[in-house]
Structure 1
């Protein structure tokens, strides 16, 4: 074998050995990268599963919240005042602690009512003094109850004459679909909503909300005006009063004149 061919063989062997060492060193790095990728994919799967679980829990919580909102009355849109019915001589709807509902000509503590919103177009009416809710039974009779139920929900509608009507949101006539309204007769007694005479066109079902609007306090401020410095004036000299001129007090001499005949 010649010397140049021998040198070429040695260089070839050295090159192949360096290539093999580089390949063997890169193999564990690739394994590490693959392991890191596997761990990242597992973490991504865990986050996806946790997000899906949280979304499911949020949806269940929202459903429970909606159910609780339907079962309980909302505190939004409260109005405190009285409901004036223009039937007869005019009556204010009042709720008694014993569950009785009627009208009074003069407003009193029993006629102070709180009208609050339950849902869109549906309101509830509570007596502030009696702490009872206005309700309508299955037979259309008005009464008061300490607990808020579906019987306490009424549909509030504005009429053309600026009066409101309150119809039961739960009960109505099944055959004709006529609604049952809150109404008072000429003597101030509560009418049955199921009566065919109780109609939204009659004045016995017209109520005027007399709401007490609380005016916000006026913003006022005080301005302090600096006091003017008093200038010290020199005391005025007393005026000298001139005495009146003295009269001539010298005696006057008279000469006697004698006349002879």
Structure 2
């Protein structure tokens, strides 16, 4: 049984489970809706969060990191694109099913999102019909085969602290410091340009 058949088998096996989770937003399946989430996946031995490194490598991390925070945006009903907020790279897939981070293209970076009854999601490339998956970094199974890939992802709210935004200030655009002046920092000149409302009346 190949990997795509495994994903399909798991989807069918959950048909008798709990009712689908309802999203509170009526825009859930429509263009323009944006979510910030970490994509969590797990099996009996490991848990991973999908992340995109600055070099464009897609891998699994054991905990939430700044590289695993994704902006998930609907581009049309049932189809989304995912962008890593740290690297600004999009999750993309080539024709062989290999995942990588890159600039956005509709063919490589659009994915069908299928919500399962247990709240987990399946993501399939819109162009290549191959599921998004991660392989655990553990060794081969007891049968000498690599550990099976993980297909089911749970979008989770971020627990990673928001990184501070550094405001750039061009010190070199200011006039040079005049140490012999009565106003060496040119504060009086700035007050003529930026006045408090109390000085207007």
Q: Secondary structure at the residue paired with 1:205?
A: coil
Among candidates 157, 168, 171, match of residue 128 of structure 2: 171
What is residue 128 of structure 1 aligned with on the other side?
85
- Using CA pairs under 8 Å that are at least 6 residues apart, name the structure with larger relative contact order, 1 or 2: 2
Among candidates 134, 144, 150, match of residue 184 of structure 1: 134
- The CA distance in 1 between the partners of 2:124 and 2:106, in whole Å, is 15
Matched, 1:77 2:23: no
1:148 Cα offset (Å)? 3.2
- The CA distance in 2 between the partners of 1:96 and 1:109, in whole Å, is 10
1:166 Cα offset (Å)? 0.3
- The CA distance in 2 between the partners of 1:162 and 1:146, in whole Å, is 29
Question: 1:134 and 1:164, CA in 2 relative to 1: closer, same or farther beyond 3 A?
Answer: same
- Confirm or deny: 8 A CA contact 1:79 1:211 kept in the other structure: no
- The CA distance in 2 between the partners of 1:166 and 1:107, in whole Å, is 20
Cα RMSD, aligned residues only: 2.4
1:75 Cα offset (Å)? 7.3
- The CA distance in 1 between the partners of 2:57 and 2:135, in whole Å, is 15
Structure 1 gaps of 5+ residues are: 1-73, 173-179, 189-196, 213-261
- The CA distance in 2 between the partners of 1:145 and 1:132, in whole Å, is 5
- The CA distance in 1 between the partners of 2:87 and 2:104, in whole Å, is 12
TM-score, reference length from structure 1: 0.43
Q: Secondary structure at the residue paired with 1:81?
A: strand
- Confirm or deny: 8 A CA contact 2:60 2:136 kept in the other structure: no
TM-score, reference length from structure 2: 0.56
How many residue pairs were aligned? Answer: 121
Among candidates 116, 130, 133, match of residue 159 of structure 1: 116
Structure 2 gaps of 5+ residues are: 1-29, 139-146, 159-201
| More deviation, 128-137/142-151 | 142-151
1:150 Cα offset (Å)? 1.6
